[in-house]
Amino acid sequence: MTQDTLRKRAQETLSKLTLEEKCNQLLHEAPGIERLGIKPYNWWSEALHGVARCGRATVFPEPIGQAATFDPELSRRIGEAVSTEGRAKFNIAQQIGNYGEDAGLTYWSPNVNLFRDPRWGRGMETYGEDPLLISRMGVEFIRGMQGDDPAFLKTAACAKHYAVHSGPEKLRHGFNVNPAKRDLFETYLPAFEACVKEGKVESVMSAYNAVYGDSATGSHYLLTEVLRDKWHFKGHVVSDSCAIEDICTGHHLAKDYAEASALSITAGCDVDAGWCHHSLYEAVQRGLCSEADVDRALLNAYMTREKLGILLPDDESPYRNYGEEVIECEAHRALAREAARKGMVLLKNDRTLPLRKDLESLYVGGAYATDTFALMGNYYGISSRMVTYLEGIAERVSAGTKIYHMVGFQGTCPNLNPINYAIREATLKDVAIVSLGVSGLLEGEEGDAIASTNVGDRPDLRIPEHQLEFLRQISKDHKNKIVAIVSGGSALELDEVCRLCDAVIFCWYPGEEGGTALADVLFGDANFSGRLPITFPTSDQALPPFEDYSMEGRTYKWQTEGIQFPFGYGLSYGHVSYRDVAVVSHDADNVTVAVTLSNTSRCAVDEVVQIYVATPWAGQLLPNSTQHVANQQLVAFQHVVLAPDEEQTVQLTIPLTRFATVDAEGERQLVPGRYVITASAAAPCQRSRELGVEMVNTQISL
């Protein structure tokens, strides 16, 4: 079977349809056409970190937690597991006649938007603030989801939300963004480009917001000139949910739904994740678009269904026979545990961790110690065996250890009872483990975070005051050790938490094996290797206005002050020293950098080596530009496993294109001059130096 054969089959099927049938097939709830043997198909399914909203499935860590692993190969394995379960669930759904939402094979994942501001409620769905990290994680997830057959797709992945989309949630249906071309091509688009060119992603989802005055769902510039003409995208474009309606009701760029539908089709959007294409037939009749426009869009959509082997019954797909035995199988649970463990970030450890398993007594409490929702994050499936933090800890310690559990405080609301027995119990135990932070009640999409006062976004980065008050109470005498287990999908203000506690672990939303994974690192059965995929500011006061889409002052590339924990930061139970970084070779395509690492500790360490480059114009204004060039940019990273007392010299080969600077017109150029190359355990900045981050640098002239 070849792609050409599939295309001919799709064209043949399309030729048999009436215009009205064609228009209806471009709705996300595409009806069946019984006379042709075409079954109903719903394009809407989700799989950000497991098959979502479709019953039982393995729940992996939220993508921001996956990004903290800095492990693209792990992302690919997660994609493979998710698509395997997705195929099985699709097969079973077909058998019982379930053709509804979330039962298909076109998964609207991954979210490769840039997490430019930690207040954005949906940032948890992304792979962080760096274009390279997002690209590498996203591309590998797509490869895992789509499989490696030359003709057929295992499932169809979707890179969303294209483009320049990252809040505020309450403005997204009418917000217009006018990014500088440099920001557009240097920051907002690279992950999408990589997903198209390297990942061969089958689908791209357009965003709600407008860009340069045109709805992203009706932007000929974004959907045709850049996506198809410049990047040669071959798949289908789907709108965000009801985004075509927004062209009319939110952006006021169309007089009615028929005009909005026509604008989206002619711009390059194919499938309507909504109901606006009910007016598409009328749009053709009124001459707003042509039947040829509809045919082009439907052929893109039908090609995806042909590659999935589901437009008409197809026995040639190699992915058609997965059964229920793969859903939440032990291999997938083990992978979820590995991902959760590798994504947890140790931010402070004052000689407290790892804990002994034979402690005499232990307090485990806080808002999320027994809360399964704090494991799940956003766009989640349902696991039949969620392991909470309390359960994971209880399973790991000695049977002789006394564990006292009392919640102590809620996640969102202050205590009403002035008497709180948990304070006394926490202070009397050898170690108090306190689970705090936020959950999907306080951050998420516009209608999901029901406790949010900001329509899903966070108005600030503070941990709720009553949670901090509990820590203050139990730390007054500080006779025992206090370990903070922090939940959340974004940066939080952690200065006071770090002052009050002896150890601080950031767990994100770690998925169904969160409790087991926590116990792995808490008691030293595994070492920490997670690194922050976003900068943690000291407070939201260190950030530019949320509505400002300029990258000045944002992320590790431009932010210089108000940094609590830098991008790429994370501790372990060992220490690795860096020395002798050097350029060992370079040619017209690549630069190869070597650095020597020494594990000076008595435990094995999984170190994430990060290579940053400062261009000749770092921190300065390019000629004819009003924007400062980034202070540095991540150009490579690699995991290095070091045995106790082991030394390794590691070589990383880096494409020279990653050294380029984007000019004011959005064009990449390799500026002649001296480049500073830094091998580091976190983004180079003054705060990294204060935290004792290992870093060494060298120079190269290009």
**Which pLDDT does position 292 carry in this prediction?**
98
Q: What are phi and psi of 283, to 5 degrees?
A: -60, -40
**Which pLDDT does position 220 carry in this prediction?**
98
**Furthest-apart CA pair in the chain: how many Å?**
79
Higher-confidence position of 477 and 224: 224
Q: Is the pLDDT of residue 161 over 90?
A: yes
Q: Which of 71, 102, 117, 240 is catalytic?
A: 240
Q: Domains of the chain, with CATH numbers?
A: 3-326 (3.20.20.300), 344-562 (3.40.50.1700), 576-701 (2.60.40.10)
**pLDDT tens readout for residues 105-148:** 999 999 999 999 999 999 999 999 999 999 999 999 999 999 99
Cis amide prior to 163 (ω within 30 degrees): yes
- Contact 374/506 with Cβ under 8 angstroms? no
Overall average pLDDT of the 447-467 stretch: 96
Element holding 146 (H helix, E strand) = helix 131-146
**Which pLDDT does position 625 carry in this prediction?**
79
- Contact 145/304 with Cβ under 8 angstroms? no
Q: What pTM does this model have? A: 0.98
Overall average pLDDT of the 405-410 stretch: 96
**Which pLDDT does position 314 carry in this prediction?**
79
**Which pLDDT does position 479 carry in this prediction?**
83
Antiparallel, parallel or unpaired: β 158-162 and 203-206? parallel
**Which pLDDT does position 526 carry in this prediction?**
98
**Which pLDDT does position 619 carry in this prediction?**
93
Measured between alpha carbons, how far is 259 from 269 in angstroms, rounded to an integer?
14
**pLDDT tens readout for residues 204-216:** 999 999 999 999 9
**What is the per-residue burial (b if ≥16 Cβ within 10 Å, else e) of 154-183?**
bbbbbbbbbbbbbbbbebbbebebebbebb
**Which pLDDT does position 590 carry in this prediction?**
97
Length of the chain: 702
Residue with tokens 């926490």: 426
Active site residue 240: yes
Q: Is the pLDDT of residue 624 over 90?
A: no
End-to-end CA distance of the chain: 47
- Contact 521/570 with Cβ under 8 angstroms? no
Q: Is the pLDDT of residue 17 over 80?
A: yes
| Residue (of 278, 208, 211) closest to 244 by Cα position | 208
Angle, alpha carbons 543-658-655 (nearest 5°): 150
Q: What is the mean pLDDT of the chain?
A: 97
Q: Is the pLDDT of residue 478 over 80?
A: no
Q: How far is CA 489 from CA 62, 63, 218, 267, 492, in A?
A: 8, 9, 31, 34, 9
Which amino acid appears at position 226 of this protein?
Answer: V
215 alpha-carbon distance from chain centroid:
24
Q: What are phi and psi of 205, to 5 degrees?
A: -100, 130
- Contact 509/65 with Cβ under 8 angstroms? yes
**pLDDT tens readout for residues 333-392:** 999 999 999 999 999 999 999 999 999 999 999 999 999 999 999 999 999 999 999 999
**Which pLDDT does position 536 carry in this prediction?**
98
Assign 282 a pLDDT band (cuts: 50, 70, 90): very high
Burial class (CB in 10 A: 0-12, 13-18, 19+), 91: middle
Overall average pLDDT of the 54-74 stretch: 98
Higher-confidence position of 321 and 508: 508
Assign 313 a pLDDT band (cuts: 50, 70, 90): confident
Assign 622 a pLDDT band (cuts: 50, 70, 90): confident
Overall average pLDDT of the 167-178 stretch: 97
Q: Please count the other Cβ atoms lying within 10 Å of the Cβ belonging to residue 219.
A: 26
Neighbouring residues of 697: CB distance < 8 A, sequence distance ≥ 6: 581, 676, 677, 678, 679, 684
**Which pLDDT does position 308 carry in this prediction?**
97
What tokens does 522 get? 């808490």
524 alpha-carbon distance from chain centroid:
28
% pLDDT > 70, the chain = 100
Burial class (CB in 10 A: 0-12, 13-18, 19+), 237: buried
